[in-house]
């Protein structure tokens, strides 16, 4: 019995992907071995790695002027790797702070140079995005960093900020959920474990001309230039995770790509937000213009019912709805792999729960 898993990550994978992985577990396409047993230098894994990069490039329309790297250390590793690789002579970086994850990225960057907060929504409890016309961008900074989707607070940028600086964005929780014009960015990064695959692999899409001399302290495994030269295999990569990520990308292609999945994501998010807004029992605090399509936090009017809500939801196969400890309440993460039936089941449960306890 599979449940509807609303976890923020690691999260649901498309069932056909898991079935395919199961079919290929003992013998990957006539090789006589599992992907887990393959040499990362061998021709079989080479094919897996190249195909997944090609699929990613095709899905997002990534130009030749960008490297696509498949790295370890998660998005948290990139919080450090980005300043290490992109600071160069400039030594200064600009950050927009719209939630817990951008705050963490900023704290890590502080270890490597001078960081400025160009705008913050902390005084609004991270429920909105500061008006871009008020952002104080430093023209001498090495780059401008923002978090496209704040996984904890459920705040998502519906626009791409305009700046002359190289634009760097954390898309850990919304990459591949909607079309994207990659050419507007200097660097895009995303941990795989939400929308793309299992944990343990992080995608970095970076414009080649930005990859210059890294800071001398940079570990080789996070040196973009070295990793690009080595096809992201400077050391042994997480081969099985990379393979499953490739299966997810193939699945996404079969779904019609990012434009088709965006339609479904809009439909799912609308369904859930409408259910929340229709009721006085449930509440979402985020500025409606910036509500995330991926992570939907909500509270109950009576928080003493939280535990009962979670228990009854779980009994109906709706799991991992507990909100992040810093925000409380509930959070439903509805990434690409969450079918609309899962959101319908959640909405039905919420209405029924309100009838009984509201």
Binding region for ligand PMP (CB under 6 A): 9, 74-76, 101, 147, 151, 170, 172-173, 191
State the residue for tokens 């300043």: 83
The verdict on whether 194 is a catalytic residue reads yes
CB of 10 to ligand PMP, least distance (A): 9
- Give per-residue burial for 119-152: e unless 16+ CB within 10 Å, then b: bbbeeeebbbbbebeebebeeebbbbbbbbbbbb
CB of 137 or CB of 203, closer to ligand PMP: 203
User: Which one from 194, 222, 223, 322 is the annotated catalytic residue?
Assistant: 194
Please identify, using beta-carbon distances, which residue of 38 and 155 lies nearer to ligand PMP: 155
Sign, CA dihedral 331-337-343-345, equals negative
Q: Which of 28, 94, 103, 170 is catalytic?
A: 170
Residue 101 annotated to the active site: yes
CB of 244 to ligand PMP, least distance (A): 15
Cα distances from 332 to residues 57, 287, 310, 342, in angstroms, run 29, 17, 12, 10
Which is closer to ligand PMP, CB of 67 or CB of 101? 101
Nearest distance, CB of residue 139 and ligand PMP, angstroms:
27
List the one residue out of 162, 115, 119 whose CA is nearest residue 141.
115
Cβ closest to ligand PMP, residue 173 vs residue 299: 173
* Least distance in angstroms from the C-beta of 9 to ligand PMP: 5
Tokens of 275: 């259910």
Check: CB of residue 285 under 8 Å from CB of residue 153: no
The residue from 28, 101, 222, 251 that is catalytic is 101
Shortest CA distance to 155 belongs to which of 124, 114, 199?
A: 124
The residues carrying an active-site annotation are 101, 170, 194
């Amino acid at each position: 019995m599979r449940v509807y898993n609303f976890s923020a990550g690691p999260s649901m994978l498309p069932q056909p992907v898991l079935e395919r992985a199961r079919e290929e577990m003992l013998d990957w396409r006539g090789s006589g071995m599992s992907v887990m047993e393959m040499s990362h230098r061998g021709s079989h894994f080479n094919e897996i790695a190249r195909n997944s990069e090609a699929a990613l490039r095709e899905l997002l329309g990534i130009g030749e002027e960008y490297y696509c790297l498949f790295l370890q250390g998660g998005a948290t590793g990139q919080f450090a790797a980005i300043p290490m690789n992109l600071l160069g002579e400039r030594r200064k970086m600009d950050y927009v702070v719209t939630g817990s994850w951008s705050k963490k990225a900023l704290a890590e960057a502080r270890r490597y140079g001078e960081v400025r907060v160009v705008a913050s929504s902390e005084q609004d409890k991270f429920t909105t995005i500061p008006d871009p016309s008020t952002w104080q961008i430093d023209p001498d900074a090495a780059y401008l960093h923002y978090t496209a989707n704040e996984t904890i607070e459920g705040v998502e940028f519906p626009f791409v900020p305009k700046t002359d600086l190289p634009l760097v964005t954390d898309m850990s929780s919304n990459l591949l959920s909607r079309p994207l014009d990659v050419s507007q960015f200097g660097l895009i990064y995303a941990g795989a474990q939400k929308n793309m695959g299992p944990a343990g692999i992080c995608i970095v899409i970076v414009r080649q001309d930005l990859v210059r001399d890294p800071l001398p302290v940079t570990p080789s495994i996070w040196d973009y230039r070295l990793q690009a030269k080595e096809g992201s295999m400077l050391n042994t990569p997480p081969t099985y995770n990379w393979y499953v990520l490739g299966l997810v990308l193939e699945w996404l292609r079969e779904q019609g790509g990012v434009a088709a999945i965006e339609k479904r994501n809009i439909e799912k998010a609308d369904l859930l937000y409408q259910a929340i807004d229709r009721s006085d029992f449930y509440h979402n605090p985020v500025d409606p213009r910036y509500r995330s399509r991926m992570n939907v936090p909500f509270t109950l009017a009576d928080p003493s019912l939280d535990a009962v809500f979670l228990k009854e939801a779980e009994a109906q196969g709706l799991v991992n709805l507990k909100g992040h400890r810093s925000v409380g309440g509930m959070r439903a993460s509805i990434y690409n792999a969450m079918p609309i039936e899962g959101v319908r089941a959640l909405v039905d449960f919420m209405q029924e729960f309100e009838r009984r306890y509201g």
